[in-house]
Structures are given as structure tokens and as C-alpha cells.
Amino acid sequence: MPPTTFPALVIHAADGHITRRLETRNLDDLPPGDLLVRVDYSSLNYKDALSANGNRGVTRHYPHTPGIDAVGTVAESRDPAWQPGDAVIVSGYDLGMNTPGGYGRYIRVPAGWAVPLPRTLDPFQAMLLGTAGFTAALALEKLHAAGLTPAAGEVLVTGASGGVGTLAIALLAKLGYHVVAATGKPELAPLFRDLGAAAIIARDDLTRDAHKALLSQRWAAALDTVGGPILAGVIKSTRANGLVAACGNAASPELALTVYPFILRGVSLLGIDAANCSLETRRALWQKLAGPWRIELPDTLVTVTDLAGLPDHIERTLQGRQAGRVVVTLPDTP
Ligand SMILES: NC(=O)c1ccc[n+]([C@@H]2O[C@H](COP(=O)([O-])OP(=O)(O)OC[C@H]3O[C@@H](n4cnc5c(N)ncnc54)[C@H](OP(=O)(O)O)[C@@H]3O)[C@@H](O)[C@H]2O)c1
């Protein structure tokens, strides 16, 4: 039997003032749903930091428990496909946005949000990847579907030190791509090389000559996690018939461009939405990440925190100072 109460990080946002408190919640506080899941690990993604900072574009109502990622064990099931004791990954959809998320020891969710934890992935590794690794895999799947192969040439990853960035570099390098990492943290160059990057450039290089409609052609493909002027610069410097997968807005949601990269060079802009991708795709990509696409991060890019330490890491993420992935451990008691 699950306990009636559990610990959670709760965000309060009133009158523009944000507080992040470790509190005891009641199972009755959770919404109705098919599966009650006891969460073992969650992770910290950029979207979690926005939710934990009162961003109403992510979370409309507070108090709220963020956490778009969770891995754990089914505690109660109203769906015949799932039994108590089953190991599950729940990530994306509305988890942690307007549904209490993985920064609580228990979540209650629709059965259609859960995928089985692949047998060859342990729960910690699953959250080391989390939405970030899943997004890198989804972007790569989409680039492959559009015809990308390692022979095409250099593939750029922006926001290289972030969760998506580091895992995208590792995944692309594992699959034989010539990866170039664009970063605001040049001091991490040795780490990017360890991950498999063949070259590192400063993120400012991508925003030079911003007034020009087209720039010298360099990238066969790109995975952009930051948006704004950097994404515009990436698209303008993508080679003829190249591919740009856009997944993030860590710098800005704006995109100021002419249509020339598209109509004079045939560049394709591919949108990546990990939160709402189908359950079928989700299952298939988790199996790939547990098998042929399995990737690791060096210890220096892995931070483990409990709920009490999480607010500090949220601040670092909001300030763009975090590198790699933050895995969150969930306790039984506050
Ligand atoms: N579409 C989807 O389905 C999906 C899924 C997951 C994530 N995302 C989005 O992808 C982005 C990255 O997510 P994440 O979890 O990897 O975030 P993260 O770990 O916080 O990494 C973001 C990285 O972006 C760079 N950055 C931060 N602030 C910047 C700024 N003002 N200007 C330029 N670069 C900046 C930094 O890398 P450097 O210092 O190395 O440049 C930072 O490490 C976020 O916007 C997130 O919302 C989207």
C-alpha cells in the first residue's frame, strides 16, 4: 500500500514572488488518473526551470510541482496493461506542466503517458537521458528521415553544454557524424571533445553579419536548442539542401529571417516537439536509446541532487550556468 502522504518540491507564485518549498503532499492532492507511480528519479530540464520560475507559458496555475520527467514503479493501476511493480518512464505530455510532476515522490497519470522502462536501462540511466536525451534522439530520427547521413558533412549542435546539447553531441558522434559544438562556455572544450565533438566554435560566431540574408555555406545539418539570432545565423549558414532541426528557445523564441535560405538554397527547417510525440514513437526511441543508440556522459557532466538541493540547480539553469544533466533523487520522507 502506498503511504497517504509524500514529499514534493512545491512552487508558489503569488504577486510575482516565487518560493520553492519542500512540502508534504497528500495522495488526494493528485489528479485522477489510471496509474499511480512511485517516482525514483526525475531530472532537471530547461522547461522545469521555467515552471519553477513561475512561467505561465509552461504552468498556468500555482502552487505546482514541476518535473517533466519521471521514472519509477507502478503502485496502483486501473489499466489492465499495467500491473503494480511495473517499471515505467513517464515524460512529456502534460507531466510537470499543469499536472503535478516528477519532483514529487508520487505522480498520477493517464496510462497513455507511460512507456515501459527498457530492460537494459536502469532507472538512473533513464533519467540521465530524460527528456533531453529523448529530444536529441527524436531530432536525429527526423534528420535521418529527411535523408541525413554522416557523409553529408559537418553537423552543428548549439547550446552544446546543455542537456539536449551534450546528449546530441554524444549521440551524433556515436553514429559517426562530424559534430561541431557551438557554446558560450569555451572553457568546456575538452569535455565537448570527450563527448565526440570534432570542433568547437563560440556561439557569438553564429551571430556575426546578422544584417546579411545569407552567409557562407557550412553546415550539412544542425540541431539548434537556443532559437533567436543564433538559429537565424545557423539557417543562413546551412548548405544547399541542408537540414536544421529546431527544438529550443533558451536564448529566444524569436526568429528573424528572410525566406532566402529556403527558396535559394532549399534548406529545410524541421520542428521538434518531444512533449507531444506519439506513444509509439516514444516507445521505439526509448528502445533505441537503451540499445544501439545508447550514450553515456562523463561524470563531470552529471550532477545528482535531492529535492532540497534542487532550487540551487534551477537557478543555475535559469542563468545558463548549468552544464550537462541534473538527475533528481526522490526520498520517501521529507
Ligand atoms: N522541442 C522540444 O521537444 C524540446 C525538448 C527538450 C528541450 N527543449 C528546449 O531545448 C532547449 C534546451 O533544453 P535543455 O534542457 O537542454 O536546457 P539546458 O540544459 O538549460 O541547456 C541550455 C543551453 O543553452 C545555452 N544557452 C542558455 N542560455 C542562452 C542564451 N541566453 N543564449 C544562447 N545560449 C544560451 C547554454 O549552452 P552553451 O553555454 O553551451 O551555449 C545552455 O547550457 C530549451 O529551450 C528547452 O525548452 C525542447
The pTM (predicted TM-score) of the whole model is 0.97
Task: Tell me the pLDDT tens digit for each residue of 174-203.
Answer: 999 999 999 999 999 999 999 999 999 999
Q: Which pLDDT does position 333 carry in this prediction?
A: 67
139 near 168, Cβ under 8 Å?
yes
Domains parsed from the chain with CATH numbers: 5-117+298-329 (3.90.180.10), 131-271 (3.40.50.720)
Task: Tell me the pLDDT tens digit for each residue of 41-77.
Answer: 999 999 999 999 999 999 999 999 999 999 999 999 9
Return the residue whose CA atom lies nearest to atom 29 of ligand 1. 251
C-alpha cell at 157: 549542435
Return the residue whose CA atom lies nearest to atom 28 of ligand 1. 320
111 near 74, Cβ under 8 Å?
no
Ligand 1: atom nearest CA of 164 is 16
| Rounded Cα distance, 240 and 139, in Å | 20
Q: What single letter denotes the amino acid at residue 254? A: E
State in Å: Cα 164 to ligand 1 middle.
7
- pLDDT, mean of residues 210-219: 97
**Distance (Å) of CA 274 to CA 69, 92, 141:** 12, 7, 12
State in Å: Cα 334 to ligand 1 middle.
30
